[in-house]
Amino acid sequence: MNKRQQSLPGPDDITRVSLPNGITVMVRANFNSPSVVIGGHLSSGSLFDSDEKLGVADFTALGLMRGTETRPFQKIFDELESAGANLSYGAGAHNTGFSGRSLSEDLPLILTLLADTLRHPIFPPEEIERLRAQFMTSLAQRAEDTADMASITFDQIVFEGHPYARPEDGWPETIRAIQRDDLANFHRRCYGPRGMVIALVGAVDPKNAVEAVAKVLGDWSNPEQLETPALPPVKPIKKTVTRKVKIPGKSQADLVIGASGPYRKDPDYIADTLGNSALGQFGLGGRIGDVVREKSGLAYYASSTLNAGIGPGSWSVSAGVNPANIQKARDLICREIGLFVEKGITAEELADSQSNFIGRLPLSLESNSGVANALLNIERYDLGMDYYRRYPDLVRAVTPEQILSAVRKYLDPERLAIAVAGP
């Protein structure tokens, strides 16, 4: 192992402790910085939401900071501000995530506020109505955003009949239906220590950090905490499906074209990410950016994205175009996907992407927050404590043939989801 790899997080400098109540604590010391970053998640995402009250997981997460049994909203805000610290929550499909930052000397304050807002929120009615108004404004803006609506429509095609087809922040009618008691009930049923992960990175002794977490969260229990619902399989698209969302008065249309993708834990995930780099990420947008935007001038932006997580992911190409160019851009993107699936990537494209992936890894781990995210990924996807040290070798080992095989598992030019939003 060279010195550069040794500087990456690994088994010798990551402390991992499981508390008796089910909380996993991960710590990496970095005394080159006077601050500490915390990040983590609980198994309390939108998978628990009903269709009628979709958005309650996100609503609950944002309501945690609005007041507790001992601290009103203003006191929480004042305590954070006086220390120059921050703490925030948000929910996704599987988890409610949290993140915070403070000077190392203020870590006890951040952990105390984290524990208090997680364990004792009271969801004051007046604060909940303020949050509802913010939700409704955000959803109104979303409904007018061509990129957002194309993305939602794409998910509805790819994940039809699956929980991932639902937007995690809900719909106007579901947010209107959510009451204060729904938040309290969601918190009672879904929040608890089992499955919680917290990462701390910065100027802190690992043993002291674990003890500090145990002091405020070690006695937390919730016998009512529900197990996360099992995910159904995704039904493959049998033929190309196109759906359009009309948003009057817009000068731009957005396209999303693609299909379902791998899980993060799939063995061909790295091959797929390298393939995606060549398709629509590398440089100014890979092949898609070069052909659709640079050479043809058909798009304001064009790129591809591979989303992969705990459950099935998606692989898509997105483009913002003049409404008059929708059909031309669509045909050109589908043609490029076809060539990609037919011939794969070149040795030069692979070498460029491999160098890029390996070179940017240390940059992504220069900050405490970057390392905290890395620790959470190790735990969430069971990657192994030495994953980031093995990563360069894993990337170098991928061949063009492996990428072509992986690509063909997910992308089929005859079975694509095509979502369009615009005037």
Task: For 83-119, write each residue's pLDDT tens digit.
Answer: 999 999 999 999 999 999 999 999 999 999 999 999 9
Does 34 reside within a domain? yes
Tell me how far CA of residue 386 lies from CA of 10, 174, 231, 368, 394, in angstroms: 5, 43, 29, 18, 12
In this structure, the answer to whether residues 107 and 208 fall within a common structural domain is yes
Residue 157 and residue 17 share a domain: yes
Burial class from Cβ neighbours inside 10 Å (0-12, 13-18, 19+) for residue 356 reads: middle
Query: How many domains, in total, are found in the chain?
Result: 2
Backbone angles phi, psi at 221, to 5 degrees: -145, 155
Tell whether the model's pLDDT for residue 363 goes beyond 90: yes
What share of the chain has pLDDT > 70, as a percent?
99
| 354 in the same domain as 205 | no
Residue 225 lies in a domain: no
Q: In the prediction, which pLDDT does 283 show?
A: 81
- Whether 33 is covered by a domain: the verdict is yes
- Structure confidence at residue 284 (pLDDT): 77
Indicate whether 5 pLDDT > 60.
no
Q: Read off the pLDDT of residues 122-136 as tens digits, 9 standing for 90 and up.
A: 999 999 999 999 999
Domain that holds residue 266: 241-422
329 pLDDT above the threshold of 60: yes
Q: Kindly state whether residue 6 falls inside one of the protein's structural domains.
A: no
For residues 146-157, average pLDDT: 98
Mean pLDDT computed over 328-334:
95
Tell whether 166 and 255 lie within a shared domain. no
**Section 172-176 average pLDDT:** 98
Tell whether 233 is covered by a domain.
no
Same domain, 148 and 16: yes
Q: Is residue 7 included in any domain, yes or no? A: no
* CATH number, residue 68: 3.30.830.10
On whether both 201 and 318 belong to a single domain, the answer is no
Same domain membership, residue 43 and residue 88: yes
Please indicate, yes or no, if residue 5 is contained in any of the structural domains.
Answer: no
Residue 56: is it exposed, middle or buried by C-beta count within 10 angstroms (0-12/13-18/19+)? Answer: buried
Same domain, 391 and 343: yes
What is residue 2's predicted lDDT score, i.e. its pLDDT?
55
**pLDDT, mean of residues 146-154:** 98
Burial (0-12, 13-18, 19+ Cβ within 10 Å), 214: middle
Q: What is the CA radius of gyration of the chain?
A: 23
Once rounded to an integer, what is the mean pLDDT over residues 380-398?
Answer: 97
Asked whether residue 184 is domain-assigned, the answer is yes
Domain boundary among 217, 233, 249: 217
pTM of the model: 0.93
Please tell me whether residues 185 and 251 are part of one structural domain: no
Burial category of 285 from C-beta neighbours within 10 Å (exposed 0-12, middle 13-18, buried 19 and up) = buried
Is residue 372 domain-shared with residue 412, that is, in the same domain? yes
Residue 1 pLDDT > 70: no
Question: Which residues have C-beta within 8 Å of that of residue 142, sequence separation ≥ 6?
Answer: 148, 149, 152, 169
178 and 312 part of one domain? no
pLDDT band at 285 (very low <50, low <70, confident <90, very high): confident
Based on the fold, state whether residues 175 and 293 are members of the same structural domain: no
The domain boundary residue, chosen from 154, 182, 217: 217
